[in-house]
């Protein structure tokens, strides 16, 4: 350390060093600021990035390079190509309906139908149903997950997949490289030896620093397609943390088991993601040949997808449009509530218009920062007449929207900027009284177990108001 002091003094002794550093800082701001501004994103988010990067000279470039917003053009091109190969069925739905037309236009996935829809509550319902369906597979099992833990739940599923692979069933497992980082490739050695395939979505490649990494763009989907006939989709990952049979503090969550033509759209999305992650599409022909004939059903359904490969924020648009279309009630449950201006306006307008608007969030999220940020919106919601409930002590992880008595959206997307813009998400939209009634009964039970937030609740300055206000400033970056 003593040797560094003379060197530091020598640096500041260089003629005009202050001017050179100032000039370098200004050039850095102009270059990086221009890069950010030219992306033409939301002004609040753009200004937040500019201020943050100005306060972190040079270091801010690394932060933005690794975590800043990015768009994926190549994925969009692959999406168009694979939609042409695996067309979704359009029968059984009124494609002129505004919401369905909007979903079709923004996702490229046509309206469809389902023969059966089963609402699965918590991992104790989802995992047995998934294992039973896998045991019945005859041609292929396709799985895509954000989190896959090498724990008891993950081991049981791996062994079930290995058994089917040994019997000649084609098993393809796509995992997010960040969310499933604890599940090393060696954990899946039995599956790979049996002929199964494993791929990683957006792996981190430190040996290729010249390629901009996509560390902040993750697949958050929890999607399974079996023989093109049975599909699973929702919010439950593969982990002991979401199985109440193993842990008393397991997450509270929702998932879906569906059959019918809607599974064709789910297959389409998996094929896109697998081809993108592996840079191979030689398997598409075999998948198309293995698809069952059309199986239209009585339940109107539509797959909603979003991600940084689309500029339209489809799931965000669908949430906002569905809320605006409500005439009686809007019930929303989400683990992360960080709304943008449009979503906040839709919720408060519905409440001010006299609708029954309710929001269910966890009492304590798995992120203290997000909890503070969520609570920073409560005063405005309560003033507008929104009923806010905090569920606990278990972590609420359900992601669902119920509108009136006939529209339900269930899936992986949270009600926040990350799900709407950065993550690859998938949800299912149903226009069906039966599905809506089942969801309403489940959410009503959770409302009954969750204390309602009061406008006159105690809010100390240092432990509530100030942390919430500061967290709110970071909401465009969360």
pLDDT tens per residue, range 165-200 = 999 999 999 999 999 999 999 999 999 999 999 999
Least confident range of 20-24, 118-122, 287-291, 340-344: 20-24
Share of the chain above pLDDT 70, in %: 80
Phi, psi for residue 406 in degrees, rounded to 5: -145, 0
Residue pointed to by tokens 């949270």: 414
> In 68-197, which ranges are continuous DSSP H helix?
73-85, 98-107, 123-135, 152-166, 189-193
If we measure between CA atoms, which residue out of 28, 90, 41, 91 comes closest to residue 70?
41
If we measure between CA atoms, which residue out of 357, 401, 396, 346 comes closest to residue 374?
396
Q: Is the pLDDT of residue 88 over 80?
A: no
pLDDT value for 71: 56
Looking at every residue in the chain, the average pLDDT score rounds to: 87
pLDDT value for 367: 82
d(CA 191, CA 166): 9
Q: What is the pLDDT of residues 202-256, one digit of tens each?
A: 997 665 554 555 677 899 999 999 999 999 999 999 999 999 999 999 999 999 9
DSSP SS3 for 219: strand
Q: What is the pLDDT of residues 2-22, one digit of tens each?
A: 555 555 556 556 666 667 666
pLDDT band at 74 (very low <50, low <70, confident <90, very high): very low
pLDDT value for 87: 44
pLDDT value for 478: 62
For residue 222, what are the contacts with CB-CB under 8 A and spacing of at least 6? Answer: 144, 145, 146, 232, 233, 234, 235, 236, 237, 255, 412, 426
Averaged pLDDT, 363-373:
88
pLDDT value for 193: 98
pLDDT value for 21: 64
For the entire predicted model, the pTM comes to: 0.86
d(CA 185, CA 409): 34
pLDDT value for 225: 98
Q: What is the pLDDT of residues 397-454, one digit of tens each?
A: 999 999 999 999 999 999 998 899 889 999 999 999 999 999 999 999 999 999 999 9
Residues designated catalytic: 220, 222, 227, 397, 399, 404
Compare 159 and 86 and report the one with higher pLDDT: 159
Tally the residues of the chain. 478
Least confident range of 159-163, 277-281, 386-390: 277-281
Q: What is the pLDDT of residues 93-151, one digit of tens each?
A: 454 478 999 999 999 999 999 999 999 999 999 999 999 999 999 999 999 999 999 99
Least confident range of 22-26, 349-353, 391-395, 432-436: 22-26
How far apart are the two ends of the chain, measured CA to CA in Å? Answer: 39
Using alpha carbons, list the distances in angstroms from residue 223 to 144, 271, 469: 5, 12, 36
pLDDT band at 77 (very low <50, low <70, confident <90, very high): very low
């Amino acid at each position: 350390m003593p040797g560094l002091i003379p060197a530091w003094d020598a640096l500041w002794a260089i003629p005009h060093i202050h001017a050179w550093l100032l000039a370098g800082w200004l050039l850095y701001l102009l270059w990086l600021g221009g890069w950010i501004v030219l992306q033409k994103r939301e002004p609040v988010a753009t200004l937040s990035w500019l201020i943050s990067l100005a306060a972190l000279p040079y270091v801010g470039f690394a932060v933005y390079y690794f975590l800043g917003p990015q768009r994926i053009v190549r994925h969009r091109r692959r999406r168009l190509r694979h939609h042409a190969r695996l067309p979704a069925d359009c029968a059984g739905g009124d494609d002129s309906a505004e919401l369905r037309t909007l979903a079709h236009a923004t996702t490229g996935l046509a309206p469809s139908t389902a023969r059966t829809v089963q609402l699965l509550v918590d991992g104790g319902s989802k995992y047995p149903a998934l294992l039973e369906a896998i045991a019945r597979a005859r041609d292929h099992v396709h799985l895509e997950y954000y989190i896959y833990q090498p724990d008891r739940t993950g081991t049981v599923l791996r062994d079930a997949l290995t058994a089917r692979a040994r019997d000649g069933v084609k098993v393809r497992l796509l995992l997010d490289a960040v969310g499933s980082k604890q599940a090393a490739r060696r954990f899946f050695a039995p599956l790979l030896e049996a002929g199964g395939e494993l791929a990683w979505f957006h792996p981190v490649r430190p040996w290729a620093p010249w390629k901009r990494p996509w560390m902040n763009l993750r697949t958050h989907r929890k999607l399974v397609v079996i023989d093109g006939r049975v599909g699973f989709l929702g919010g439950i990952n593969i982990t002991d943390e979401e199985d109440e049979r193993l842990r008393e503090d397991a997450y509270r969550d929702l998932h879906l088991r569906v059959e019918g033509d809607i599974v064709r759209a789910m297959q389409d999305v998996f094929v896109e993601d697998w081809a993108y992650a592996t840079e191979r599409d030689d398997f598409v022909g075999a998948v198309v040949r293995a698809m069952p004939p059309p199986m239209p059903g009585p339940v109107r359904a539509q797959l909603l997808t979003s991600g940084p490969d689309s500029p339209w924020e489809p799931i965000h648009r669908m949430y906002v449009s569905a809320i605006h279309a409500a005439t009686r009630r809007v019930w929303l449950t989400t683990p992360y509530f960080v709304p943008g201006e449009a979503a906040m306006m839709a919720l408060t307008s519905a409440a001010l218009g006299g609708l029954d608007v309710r929001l269910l969030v966890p009492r304590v999220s798995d992120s203290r920062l997000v909890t503070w940020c969520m609570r920073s919106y409560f005063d405005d919601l309560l003033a507008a007449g929104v009923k806010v409930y905090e569920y606990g002590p278990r972590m609420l992880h359900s992601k669902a929207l119920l509108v009136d008595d006939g529209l339900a959206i269930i899936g992986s997307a949270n009600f926040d900027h990350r799900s709407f813009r950065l993550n690859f998400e998938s949800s299912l939209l149903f226009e069906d009284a039966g599905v809506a009634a089942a969801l309403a009964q489940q959410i009503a039970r959770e409302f009954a177990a969750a204390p309602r937030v009061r406008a006159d609740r105690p809010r100390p300055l240092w432990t509530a108001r100030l942390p919430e206000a500061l967290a709110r400033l970071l909401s465009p970056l969360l």
